[in-house]
Each structure stands twice: as C-alpha cells, then as structure tokens.
Chains A and B, each alone.
Chain A
Amino acid sequence: GESVGLHLPTLSVQEGDNSIINCAYSNSASDYFIWYKQESGKGPQFIIDIRSNMDKRQGQRVTVLLNKTVKHLSLQIAATQPGDSAVYFCAETANTGNQFYFGTGTSLTVIP
C-alpha cells in the first residue's frame, strides 16, 4: 500500500529561524504533492503544492522541494513565526480517483 512518512515527529525552532520539514514517499508513480498545516481543533489547511514536473516551488515564506530520485519532499518556512506553530502534513497522489495519501505529520513549535 501507499506509505507517506515524516522523518521527525516534532520540531522546535526559534522565532525568526528557518524551518525545514521533511517527508518521504514510497510510490514512484505519485505525481502531485501537497503540504498542509493543521492547527489544534481545525481541519488541514492547504499551504502549497507541487507537481512532479517541478523540483521547487515557492510561495509566501514557504518553499517546497521535490527530489523524485530519492522520493523525498521538504517544506521550508522562512523566518518562522509563532503563528506557524502547528502540525504539518505532506500528501501525495498518483491521481487514481483523486485519492491522496497522508503522512502522520510533524508538530512544529516556534519558541519566542
């Protein structure tokens, strides 16, 4: 079956530092990837996505990197703020019925 995992379950960073959250995936046919942010008591919130024909994509303070060779995805958050504290998930799909597979998440804590 699908396997989407994260290297670290928790991450603590100082406010203002950059954060890097990693994700490994196992399905080489996956062609679309998403990062979500989930705050306590809320649903996952879309942050940024990337398609397999790209290696890098940038948003506002966030960058996603995709390394298809080693099936690895990362989310970089620049100048991390207290409001970035949340659980971050990666998700992948091989576009089979638009079904996504989600990792278990990394809990990011920003230290003021």
Chain B
Amino acid sequence: DAGITQSPRHKVTETGTPVTLRCHQTENHRYMYWYRQDPGHGLRLIHYSYGVKDTDKGEVSDGYSVSRSKTEDFLLTLESATSSQTSVYFCAISGGGSQPQHFGDGTRLSIL
C-alpha cells in the first residue's frame, strides 16, 4: 500500500464548528489531492497541491481551504462546517505527469 495516512478516520461534529482533516504521506510525492465522495457522484476534487505552499482549487472548493507547509502533510479545513459537507473525504498522492494517484482509506465526516 502507498504510504498514505488520513486522520481522523471518523469524525462527528456540529454545524458551524471548524474541522481539519490531515493527510500524511511517506512517498515524497509532489502532488497531493483532497476529494469528497458522495452517493451518485464520482470522486470530486476539492483542492490539490503541486508543491509546498502551492495549491489550487478543484471543482467543489467552496467552503474548504487547504495548506501544505511540508511535502508530507496536506491539511483540509472546513472553517464552518455545514450539513452539506457530510461526506467521505479521500486524500490522494501522485508523482505527477502520467502517473496514477494513490488513495488513503478516507475520513468519514458527519456534520449534525
């Protein structure tokens, strides 16, 4: 398995609270991604990073922010969680170019 660890694996929180999800990799890959997975949808890209401090928005970035201060860590923050952000969140890593993305095992986030 690719060296990707997501934490926490499960979280329940209330509307309006801040939430931070962490992705840690041991592969020294340049690219890191955050996706959400919801029934009836394919994986949808939230944000991605192409290097330390280099990030860009994906197709569903509203309400989310990210940070990457080290190659190995990519943080996803929900500043003020809403019920529509209840989802399973996956982190992925890639060496870039035509190389596959490898995924972590996800964080199941429930916002009540």
Contacts and interface: CB of A to CB of B under 8 A. Distances in A.
Contacts of B90: 43-44
B41 interface: yes
A49 B100 CA distance: 8
Interface stretch (B13-21, B70-78, B79-87, B101-109): B101-109
A45 B44 CA distance: 16
B103 A45 contact: yes
Main secondary structure of the interface of B (DSSP, over half): loop
B42 A104 contact: yes
Contact of A102 (B4, B42, B104): B42
A32 B98 contact: yes
Q: Which interface residue of B56, B59, B101 has the most chain A CB atoms within 10 A?
A: B101
A95 B48 contact: no
Contacts of B41: 104
Task: Classify chain A: how many residues form its interface, as a range.
Answer: 20 to 34
Interface residues of B, number: 26
Contacts of B102: 46
Contacts of A105: 42
Interface in B19-53: 31, 40-45, 48, 50
A11 B105 CA distance: 24
Contacts of B58: 99
Given A42-B106, A43-B4, A99-B48, 11 more contacts: A36-B103, A42-B105, A45-B103, A91-B101, A97-B48, A97-B56, A98-B96, A99-B58, A100-B45, A102-B43, A103-B42
The 3 closest A-B pairs by CB, nearest first: A43-B103, A102-B42, A102-B43
